[in-house]
Amino acid sequence: MTDKHESVILLHGLGRTSRAMKKLERELEKDYFVVNLTYASMRHPIEHLAESAISKSLEQCDPKKPIHFVTHSLGGILVRQYLSHNTVENLGRTVMLGPPNQGSELSDFFSKSTLFKLVNGPTGGQLGTGTNSIPINLGEVNFELGIIAGNRSFNPLFSKLIDGANDGKVSVNRSKIKGMTDHLVLPVSHTFMMLDPVVIHQVKHFLLDGGFDR
């Protein structure tokens, strides 16, 4: 059992809202105090989003108790960006779902498109695999991190642009990052992985035990 005063901060992905993490919120609030805020993922660059979204979330947590993170896609990059410049007292464990930790080929492919820029704002172009990639330039992690990657895609067009097994938006290999604690691949897609009962079970297991349930 966990102390109910331990907190879990949920961070949704690009173009989504807190509704995308609602099922996870309901499951986790049985054991934790959960913060699930919507942030303007398409209006500001990653640096701004990380400071704004995470600072507001931390204000609601008890700093004397462990504070965990569970993220989807871009949300994981926000945690890495924030922790590269800030310290979280009593930082607990982090679980990232489908994070583009080494960038995404889709961002490379679409970054020159005017429509892509209009839809995704400044953030989309920061998630590529080139020298200006925020995820790549952030380097390795130094906190307890479990990563769940998907290898099922419902978008064959996007998958053709991605090297190797992928979830339709992020490859399994590019979800990895040096320093991670554990990595698990499941047959889920990028868009809906946070709703999958097996994913939710694995998230809860990592938060409690520091490793995935094999």
pLDDT of amino acid 142: 95
Topology, domain 7-209? Rossmann fold (3.40.50)
Residue 31 φ/ψ region, left for φ over 0, alpha for ψ in the -120 to 50 degree band, beta for the rest: alpha
Give the pLDDT band (50/70/90) at residue 115. Answer: very low
Are the beta carbons of 17 and 38 closer than 8 angstroms? Answer: yes
pLDDT of amino acid 90: 95
Residue at token pair 């691949």? 185
Cα separation, 47 vs 118, in Å, equals 19
Cα separation, 90 vs 28, in Å, equals 19
Give the pLDDT band (50/70/90) at residue 32. Answer: very high
Residue at token pair 């049985």? 30
Are the beta carbons of 8 and 200 closer than 8 angstroms? Answer: no
Across the range 15-32, mean pLDDT stands at 96
pLDDT tens per residue across span 149-191: 999 988 777 787 788 999 999 999 999 999 999 999 999 999 9
pLDDT of amino acid 125: 74
pLDDT of amino acid 163: 85
Across the range 94-120, mean pLDDT stands at 75
Extents of the domains making up the chain: 7-209
Residue 123, pLDDT > 60, answer yes
C-alpha distances in angstroms, 45 versus 10, 42, 130?
19, 8, 17
Are the beta carbons of 155 and 76 closer than 8 angstroms? Answer: no
pTM of the model: 0.92
